[in-house]
Structure 1
């Protein structure tokens, strides 16, 4: 199981082939680590990242990405392995890009 990330220029059609038209860039290297991080968040975590479904698809618009960006620093302090840190830093870059790109969406593609 893993969570892939895709930054889209506008709201993507949740269909793999048709969504390629709006794709800006994706991240496919840290899916398992990112899923582990998301599943490992405790029940007290109330932020936007707690809404991500590692088993399904979740979309963040630019405002949600901006809010989730503030959550990454806390999660980085909880990393126990370099691969987790790499996954969160990759997520942080894409959240930042989404929050800086009007009309964009970050698609969390769950498995």
Structure 2
């Protein structure tokens, strides 16, 4: 399944986009107990996170990355972390996961 992530502003402008092929595997590896926001991503619809939630995603990614062994999935985590960092703490910016 092809997922993509992008940073969107309040006005709807897309600031940056990524469509790493291993994003689906990354979100599937998330645990509802340890990474509830990452685990809540809908693979078939859009999931939108605000700037405060993006800060939590960065923390959840730190925890999840220690359990990932696949290099391509780690690269997807790095890409998500980079885009979440652009949203974290910035008002009127959103991290959007575009489901297939």
TM-score (norm 2): 0.88
Pairing of 1:46-61 with structure 2 (within 5 A)? 46-61=35-50
Separation in 2, partners of 1:44, 1:92: 20
| Contact residue 51 and residue 92 of structure 2 kept, 8 A | yes
Identify the residue that residue 76 of structure 1 maps to in structure 2.
65
Cα pair distance change 1:67/1:38, threshold 3 Å: same
How many residues align structurally? Answer: 100
The alpha-carbon distance between structure 1 residues 46 and 88, as it changes in their structure 2 partners (threshold 3 A), is closer
Superposition pairs for residues 27-38 of structure 1, below 5 Å? 27-28=18-19, 30=20, 32-38=21-27
Give the TM-score, by structure 1 length. Answer: 0.80
Question: What runs of 5+ residues in structure 2 fail to find an aligned partner?
Answer: none
Structure 2 residue 28 is the aligned partner of structure 1 residue 25: no
- Corresponding residue for residue 40 of structure 1: 29
Which aligned runs of 4 or more in structure 1 are off by greater than 6 angstroms? none
SS in 2 for 1:52: coil
Name the CA shift for 1:97/1:80 in 2 (closer, same or farther; >3 Å).
same
Q: Provide the aligned C-alpha RMSD in A.
A: 1.6
- Kept in 2, the 8 Å contact 1:7–1:26? The answer is yes
Q: Does structure 2 retain, via aligned residues, the 8 Å contact 1:11–1:105?
A: no
Structure 1 gap ranges (5+): 13-21
Distance of 2:87 and 2:32 partners within structure 1:
26
